[in-house]
Amino acid sequence: MMSVGLEHYLVLSAVLFSIGLYGVLAKRNAVVILMCIEIMLNAVNIALVAFSRYVVPMFLTGQIFAIFVMVVAAAEAAVGIAIIIAIYRSRQSVDVNKFDLMKW
């Protein structure tokens, strides 16, 4: 078994990102879609930290980028859940197929 390197972390990150993308495209429950977006953001973070560890180990630029991604993810989760609850109040549903307010 070869020793774990940068490629392993990048492939793991790609697998997680694809699973999240499938969930975002295929699911109908808006809360589950938000959860899948969190999976995708975490996958990107793994790639950033792996690059930081293996390509420039003496600088922490990748980890600092990951911190900014986390902050934006927290803001996105708060606003996303507020939007979902606001729509649920008027539509009594979180099914994205019924979110057609902006259709012409």
Partner 1 sequence: MFDIVFWILALVTVSAALAVVILRDVFRAALSLVLLFLAIAGIYITLYADFLAVVQVLIYVGAISILIIVAIMLTREVWHGSPAGKLRIPALVVSLLLLGTMVFTVISTNWETSGEPPLQPTTAAIGTSLFGEGGFILPVEITAVLLLAAVLGAIVLIREK
CB nearer to partner 1: pick between 74 and 104: 74
Distance in Å, CB of 92 to partner 1, minimum: 9
Tokens of 67: 């911190």
CB nearer to partner 1: pick between 57 and 100: 57
Tokens of 34: 């938000």
Q: Which residues contact 9 (CB under 8 A, 6 or more apart)?
A: 46, 47, 49, 50, 54
Q: How far apart are CA 9 and CA 48, in angstroms?
A: 10
Task: Kindly report the length of the chain.
Answer: 104
CB nearer to partner 1: pick between 92 and 104: 92
Distance in Å, CB of 40 to partner 1, minimum: 10
| Cβ(67)–Cβ(44) below 8 Å | no
CB nearer to partner 1: pick between 28 and 101: 28
Distance in Å, CB of 8 to partner 1, minimum: 7
